[in-house]
Amino acid sequence: MPRFKSSQDILRIVSNKDQIRNMGIIAHVDHGKTTMTDSLLAGAGLLSPSLAGTALAMDFMEEEQKRQMTIKAANVSLWHEEGGTAYVLNLIDTPGHVDFSGKVTRSLRAIDGAVVVVDSVEEVMVQTETVTRQALEERVRPVLYINKIDRLIKELKLTPEQIQERIGRIIKDFNGLIDLYGEAEFKEKWKVSFASNTVAMGSAKDRWGFNYDVSQKRGVKFSDVINGYSSGKVEELKTVMPIHEAILGMAVGVMPPPHVAQRYRIPKIWHGDPNSDVGQAMIKCDDNGPVLMSVTNIVVDPQAGVVATGRLFSGTIEDGEPIYLINSNASGRVQQVAIYMGPNREIVGRLSAGNIPALLGLENVKAGETISSVKPFVPFEAVHYVTEPVVTIAVEPKLSRDLPKLVDILRKLSLEDPNLVTTINEETGEYLISGMGTLHLEIATTLITKTGLEIQTSKPIVIYREAIRRAAGPIEGRSPNKHNKIFIEVEPLEEAVMELIKSGKISEYGDKTEMARSLREIGWEADEARGVWSIDEPFNMIVDVTKGAQYMQEVKDMILAGYRWGIKEGPIAYEQIRGLKVKITDVSLHEDPVHRGPAQIMPMTRRSMFIAFLNGQPTLMEPVQRITTKVPNDLLGAVTSVVTQKRGKIVSIDQKGHLVYVIGEVPTVETFDLSEVMRSQTAGRAFWGLEFARWSPVPQSLLQSVIEQIRKRKGLSPEPAKPSDFVD
């Protein structure tokens, strides 16, 4: 029987790194990830056993329960005994819904192994592929759990042979993914099989499961399962072959402890120099090294305040520890260090490398932040580049006296979910929330309403980006006082460079030599690769290729400020510029500092950049959502017609049994009433989801009217800017 352990017992165990496992559960949406987490919790004795299966302990927010999907990565520490040794398993829940996939990567960084849950009825699905690929990219070792075997027996009424055949197919498909996405040095070793104890099967809902080990040890056979269901003795199965024994057994037996995993994972998940002192401290998982931690999750607790949870890669963190928040360039002090016991936290005073601490007392820390006791340090992620918000709504309280309360809630929301951007429109005083899709914003507003605050929201507004399609320049720009000159060229930033930025391989904080090398590899000239001044969201770069320009260092910040002013509000419709490379090819600056102040240099930079931009075949980019639908065969026509009606296109149609899976792409602006249209056209029989897919140019036929609409909303003249507007 599961037993409770005290935090003292847990602390004793985690002082030996061999007895720690950091793991996660990943799956296609609705394949039973959360149900399985609950079963594990029940097995570890940290949650009342009768509740598992329906309680969805990890989905502790009511909102998630309603939608039956995990949107917040909560953490639990479990305890498990195997072969007489006690282990602590830190279980980090990773979200299955891709609208928030920035969080998936973040969670994956913290774990060394993952249980991939696959629904035996639906088999390997799109998101199974996505999450497995992501796990492999972060060097997270996967094991396979085939779920919902009960449905094969009860609903599909398959024979044992058919079941076996199906399981064989799932394992083969899954190994196919490892073959496809695994790195050469790991993929053979990481392929799964029943014999190597890397595959388990069962029913998370009914809380039974077994792998090879369990079947041997307990002498259970698949026929026991069939008998269990046919004789109505399902309850017995969970005693004979409890699911947690199989899963946690695999975790302990197959997944590496932190100090082993960090040896090969750090060079992959951290972009600094692995041979530096900090790099070595992490590779060695050194308790005596500097404190280096990646924050995966923030919860704002009514009592404890901001709670930051993450993976400690090096050092020992203690109560009262002064630390730096690298991404936000701030410092702070950890008030208390806690460990998770089930879904609860207990204050433990200190934790060492390889663990998953919960830190209290850091007020402004955000998910994705890098905590370090040393500076400078290359952060684990360039938070902002992971995702870009695409839809905005304005929120206001029904009663104006509630405004301070709203401001407070918005702050908390954006701390907990950095993909949710809250801003104030300085002209109108409106509070704006931007998110990755309509659903994302719906959840946010529901969360606000849940606090008892009555709010009004505006209609959603789609965010566009301004971009160019070809290079232009050099353009000469003069300062208003005419004493300074700048020459600027612009070109579209290469996809390959955007990839480097997105993956964090190049960043402003990173090693400059390393960045220059990466850029040279994709074909940049040496002087360009060395001249990068800044990388800005979303995916813009400014590069200095001037030679021996006098006073350049003194005006650098002003040029940067002018450039940032420009990319924040582009010349077409005052939307952000995306994917622009700005090259400064020459400058001529007045020798007297008073004649080259910010009020001269900033407008000079912005104007010449805008003229060049407007000469580069400018256009607007609109966000496009990927729509994934699952419908009965007879509704295929209805779904495809909805997608095409909405200016969308079909990407793939995949038939599995009596169901058909349709994947398409629809511009975000067309998705606002998609729920109603879909419901009416399919009589509510379609199961579907949306996620952000990519930015795509607005069709030429619509461009003019879209620009006019945006400009009108912003109170601008309907005519977009022309190069001549910026020429003196």
Binding site for another protein (CB under 8 A): 479-483, 558, 590-600, 602-603, 607, 725-728
Question: Using alpha carbons only, what angle is made at residue 28 by residues 23 and 31, rounded to the nearest 5 degrees?
Answer: 90
Secondary structure element (H or E) that encloses residue 713, with its range? helix 700-713
- Measured CA to CA, the distance from residue 554 to residue 597 in angstroms comes to 10
Closest contact distance (angstroms) between CB of 482 and another protein is 5
In this complex, which beta carbon is closest to another protein, that of residue 270 or of residue 610? 610
CA 359 to chain centre: 21
C-alpha atoms less than 13 angstroms from C-alpha of 344 in its C-beta half-sphere: 9
- The secondary element (H helix, E strand) that includes residue 473 is strand 472-478
Find the shortest distance in angstroms from Cβ 723 to another protein: 12
CB of 714 to another protein, least distance (A): 18
Q: Which is nearer to another protein, 465 or 478 (CB)?
A: 478
CB contact at 8 A, 470 and 581? no
Distance in Å, CB of 716 to another protein, minimum: 16
Residue with tokens 């024994």: 245
Residue 297: which of 70, 461, 88 has the closest Cα? 70
DSSP codes of every residue in 18-75: GGEEEEEEEESTTSSHHHHHHHHHHHTTSS-GGGTTTS-TT--SHHHHHHTS--S--E
Nearer to another protein, 510 or 603 (CB): 603
Q: Which is nearer to another protein, 80 or 590 (CB)?
A: 590
For residue 594, the minimal CB distance to another protein (Å) is 5
CB of 431 to another protein, least distance (A): 22
**What is each CA distance from 570 to 464, 559, 700, 710, in whole angstroms?**
11, 16, 19, 12
Rounded to the nearest whole angstrom, what is the least distance from the CB of residue 557 to another protein in the complex? 10
Asked if residues 96 and 114 have their Cβ atoms less than 8 Å apart, the reply is: no
Q: What is the smallest separation between the CB atom of 488 and another protein, expressed in angstroms?
A: 15
The CB-of-549 to another protein minimum distance in angstroms stands at 18
Name the minimum Å distance from CB 610 to another protein: 11
Q: Give the residues across from 3 on adjacent strands.
A: none
**Closest by alpha carbon to 547, among 487, 467, 498?**
487
Task: Tell me which amino acid residue 640 is.
Answer: T
176 vs 593 by CB, closer to another protein: 593
Among residues 188 and 725, whose Cβ is nearest to another protein? Answer: 725
Q: Are 560 and 540 in contact (CB under 8 A)?
A: no
Closer residue to another protein in complex, CB, 591/676: 591
Q: Which is nearer to another protein, 219 or 715 (CB)?
A: 715
Cα radius of gyration (the chain)? 27
To which residue do tokens 């009433």 refer? 673
CB nearer to another protein: pick between 568 and 595: 595
- Least gap, CB of 722 to another protein (angstroms): 12
Q: How far is the CB of 603 from another protein (least distance, A)?
A: 4
3-class secondary-structure state, position 110: helix
Question: Which C-beta is closer to another protein: that of 531 or that of 562?
Answer: 562
Q: Quick one: which H or E segment has residue 604? A: helix 598-614
Give the start-end residues of each E strand in 127-281: 141-147, 199-203, 208-210
Q: Least Å distance between CB 563 and another protein?
A: 13
Q: Distance between CA 93 and CA 23 in Å, rounded?
A: 9
Q: Which of 706, 211, 137 is nearest to 462 (CA)?
A: 706
The percent of the chain in helix, strand and coil, each rounded to the nearest 5, is 40, 30, 35
Q: Which is nearer to another protein, 305 or 597 (CB)?
A: 597
CB nearer to another protein: pick between 385 and 726: 726
CA dist 65 and 55 (Å) reads: 9
414: its two tokens: 């954006």
The strand pairing partners of 540, in sequence order, are 536
Q: Compute the least distance from the CB of residue 604 to another protein, in Å.
A: 8
Q: Are 461 and 393 in contact (CB under 8 A)?
A: yes
Q: Which is nearer to another protein, 567 or 602 (CB)?
A: 602
- Of 522 and 599, the one with the shorter C-beta distance to another protein is 599
| Residues 33/95, Cβ–Cβ less than 8 Å | no
Torsion angle, alpha carbons of 502, 504, 509, 513, to 10: -110
Angle, CA of 229, 53 and 10, to the nearest 5°? 120
| Shortest spacing between CB 617 and another protein, in angstroms | 23
Task: Kindly tell me which of 475 and 543 has the beta carbon lying closer to another protein.
Answer: 475
Shortest CA distance to 296 belongs to which of 391, 190, 178, 386? 386
